[in-house]
Amino acid sequence: MAAPSQAIAPTDGELLQAQADLWRHSLYYLTSMALKCAVELHIPTAIHHLGGSTTLPDLVTALSLPKTKLPFLGRIMRLLVTSGFFASDGSSGDGTEAVYRLNPLSWLLVEGVESEDHTYQKYFVLGTVSRHYVEAGLSLADWFRKDLPEPLPSPFEDLHGVPLVHESTKLLDEELDRIVEEGVAAHDNLAIGTLIRECSDVFSGLHSLTYCCGRQGNTSAKAIIRAFPDIKSTVLNLPRVVETTTPAAAPADDAVSNVTGDLFHTIPPAQAVMLKLVLHFWSDEDCVKILEQCKKAIPSREEGGKVIIIEILLGPYMGPIVYEAQLLMDMLMMVNTRGRQRGENDWRQIFTKAGFSDYKIVKKIGARGVIEVYP
């Protein structure tokens, strides 16, 4: 029998700090709910239309809210400023006399911005704080206690009966399915301009590229084509994505073609295959199967063949705040899918099992890594 651990005897200061930390971690969900409220009220867009900064009374007027809600909105805004969602000048104690401004984070939640580097993130927020996501998180302890057959369903699938980000998700809730698809597409397409600027050597010299996305990849594919017009690009989508793509959303450039396919069976051949924020939805075993198909689709390394992978690269290299964000994204995958976020050692093992000879981390961009994998 193991000996009991020695009792911890915190100092008075440590005890008070521990109490404050307990409040913080137990109540963080209220920050998420406040953010959801701000998104649904279109507060970032309203501030944008007011010139990028506003007082609380002007914000209440712009949002057409009852005047009686002004002090309550001030308390919401005070929390969101403290949490880094907005900037503020000259804040008073209750937040009612402050001047609120957009910052880079809230700029992502402004609707209608015409900028290549802007991708409206409303649906990412609404998806992650949706009732179905939250209920899956609340079921974690019950999920751990169950002796479930392999392959293990996610807590989301076990609770709701259908997997997330799947053609059957709409059988659970059509609105949830739409929000998740929109949110994943917005998340996937964010920062494609940064990627092209920071990693131009990855695409330089390519004559053909298959972009495997599974959902609305034309935005990223067309951005690559604009920067590298000599690349002939094919976008491999799931069948339902192709079927639901409207004519207005179809690419105008003949260099981009849409094909219907399955990552596990056939990938259109090209000099390079690109998997941008795809593999984290899948188990290690499924990632090996997908990469084996990628390997069949590309020529030898001597002929320039490679697989380009863009994924969160777990590790504390960007500091504790970004690392915590990475770990939260891993929890998002664990609760809602059968996939995971991975570190370099995890990727190395997967590449080896899929039959690749070498890989290179080209660059770490924020929380993500750009990896070239060679046959």
Does residue 225 have a pLDDT over 60?
yes
* Segment 311-358, tens digit of pLDDT: 999 999 999 999 999 999 999 999 999 999 999 999 999 999 999 999
Task: Return the axis-axis angle of helices 284-297 and 344-353, rounded to nearest 10°.
Answer: 60
Closest CA relative to residue 113, chosen from 215, 183, 44, 62: 44
pLDDT tier for residue 68 given thresholds of 50, 70 and 90 = very high
Distance between CA atoms of residues 274 and 249, nearest Å = 21
Question: What mean pLDDT is reported for the chain?
Answer: 90
Percent above pLDDT 70 for the chain = 90
pLDDT of residue 245: 47
Does residue 215 have a pLDDT over 60?
no
First to last CA, the chain: 51
* Segment 105-119, tens digit of pLDDT: 999 999 988 777 778
Give the pLDDT mean for 84-113: 86
| DSSP assigned state of 7 | P
Percent above pLDDT 90 for the chain = 73
Does residue 207 have a pLDDT over 60?
yes
Closest CA relative to residue 122, chosen from 60, 56, 38: 38
* Segment 123-159, tens digit of pLDDT: 999 999 999 999 999 999 999 999 999 999 999 999 9
Backbone angles phi, psi at 369, to 5 degrees: -120, 145
pLDDT of residue 255: 59
* Segment 226-261, tens digit of pLDDT: 899 889 988 888 765 545 444 444 444 555 788 888
Cβ neighbours for 199, distance < 8 A, ≥ 6 positions apart:
362, 363, 365, 370
- Dihedral sign (CA 319, 321, 322, 324): positive
pLDDT of residue 347: 97
Does residue 162 have a pLDDT over 90?
yes
pLDDT of residue 212: 87
Domains of the chain, each with CATH number or no CATH: 31-90+97-112 (1.10.10.10), 127-182 (no CATH), 190-374 (3.40.50.150)
Residue 253 near residue 225, CB atoms below 8 Å: yes
Does residue 363 have a pLDDT over 70?
yes
pLDDT tier for residue 1 given thresholds of 50, 70 and 90 = low
pLDDT of residue 6: 66
pLDDT of residue 251: 44
Active site residues: 280
Tokens of 155: 């807590």
